Structure 1
């Protein structure tokens, strides 16, 4: 409820700013596309700050700095310098500061902890073909399947933890496609899986936790990470 009120108010205020800026009521006239990008980047920044998603937080500030380089007096910094610094900062901060996921889930169904006083939405999916489209939210998904064939996962401006530990493959191979933008995503996969990683990384961060076994079913992980973070956890 709080999140709905916040974003509703945010976009109402944005509409007022858009109209007043075009009427020349501000001291300086701001181009309409510049204003649209500014509103979108501020929205990304607020969401990222609230959930401590470091990559999207830093890059939203970086793009704002590029857009307003002249008023800020930082034109000496070329865009690639700002983006390069943002990449290094996002990696460093992502290591030091984790998204606000403070919980433990036991297989008996008991929760402990919370998500910064908000419990992330969770659901169990029983389907051999999984399609997830998550936006502006923090979620947990448990994939249960005895004949798993593949998954398509799209996450934007949010955070997701997706568990594949209770999955059996239908055949000896499967494919998981990811499309991650301005988000932090963690995949929990069986250590017996032999992951073949083919993910296009665009100003993002891809990490692996744990060590897989030397034999097991082959799973192709493909897609892209754009201004986000993907963590693969072998369990």
Structure 2
């Protein structure tokens, strides 16, 4: 690391320490928690680093995460985290097309299927797929996926999202007699689940600066139960009861 860089980053983190002390002493009108401010300093460092290296995705998503983290002081609490991340994804794609189209179109996309599961990985694109397996897996990385399930004996779904968006439709699914589980592992992502309104649903999620919302009228019956479990980190999960 050059002397200039050492001075810059050293001064940056010292300024972060000053802001942290000022916030705790009430010198700043807006009150921030210790971990909130520490995370904000880290994200700001990522944004500055991304700007310096002309990295579109790092800059846009870094700003998006800052917006999610400080939504209340910014007055944008009406925007769910998954909405902000969706906007960031679209802005990233748009800027990539405008500013760097040649490298953008070189991005590789691939999909593969196994006997029991469907897996997908991609970059800066949207996948749409309909499957009828009892088990399914959706993986996204800096991309989007829309999956429609039509299984008559659904038992398990796994969602693994990193800097992306996932929509999983289970409205045409029949649960296995023993019930089903949906494992969600989301980091800086938005996940939407569309479930029949009469399904009994149980949550077992670890929440780290994430938002969980339920929409629609939930009228659970006496049938098998769906357990939604996993980890959410700086992400949004929305359950739509249809």
Give the RMSD, CA atoms, in angstroms: 3.6
Matched, 1:24 2:3: yes
Task: After TM superposition, give the deviation of residue 230 of structure 1 in Å.
Answer: 0.3
Task: After TM superposition, give the deviation of residue 125 of structure 1 in Å.
Answer: 2.5
Q: Which has the higher strand share?
A: 1
Task: After TM superposition, give the deviation of residue 173 of structure 1 in Å.
Answer: 1.0
Matched, 1:221 2:228: yes
**Unpaired runs of at least 5, structure 1:** 1-21, 63-82, 101-114
Q: Give SS of 1:171's match.
A: coil
Q: Give CA-to-partner distance per residue, 1:168-213, whole Å, 9 cap, x none.
A: 1222411111111101111111112111112121111000001222
User: What is the correspondence of 1:1-235 to structure 2 with a 5 Å cutoff?
Assistant: 22-24=1-3, 26=5, 28-30=7-9, 38-39=45-46, 42=50, 43-47=57-61, 56-59=65-68, 91-94=77-80, 99-100=86-87, 120-215=126-221, 216-235=223-242
Q: Give SS of 1:30's match.
A: helix
Q: Is the 8 A contact 1:135 1:156 kept in 2?
A: yes
Q: Give CA-to-partner distance per residue, 1:61-112, whole Å, 9 cap, x none.
A: x6xxxxxxxxxxxxxxxxxxxx6957x86643328x6635xxxxxxxxxxxx
The CA distance in 2 between the partners of 1:57 and 1:157, in whole Å, is 14
TM-score with structure 1 length normalisation? 0.59
In the alignment of these two chains, the number of paired residues is 170
Q: Give CA-to-partner distance per residue, 1:108-136, whole Å, 9 cap, x none.
A: xxxxxxx9899732112332111222111
Q: Is the 8 A contact 2:154 2:173 kept in 1?
A: yes
**For residues 46 and 124 of structure 1, do their structure 2 counterparts lie closer, same or farther at Cα, with a shift above 3 Å needed?**
same
The CA distance in 1 between the partners of 2:225 and 2:187, in whole Å, is 26
Q: Give CA-to-partner distance per residue, 1:119-175, whole Å, 9 cap, x none.
A: 732112332111222111122111221111111111111111111112112224111
The CA distance in 2 between the partners of 1:128 and 1:144, in whole Å, is 9
**Unpaired runs of at least 5, structure 2:** 14-41, 51-56, 88-92, 98-123
The CA distance in 1 between the partners of 2:72 and 2:59, in whole Å, is 17
Q: Is the 8 A contact 1:47 1:136 kept in 2?
A: no
The CA distance in 2 between the partners of 1:45 and 1:232, in whole Å, is 29
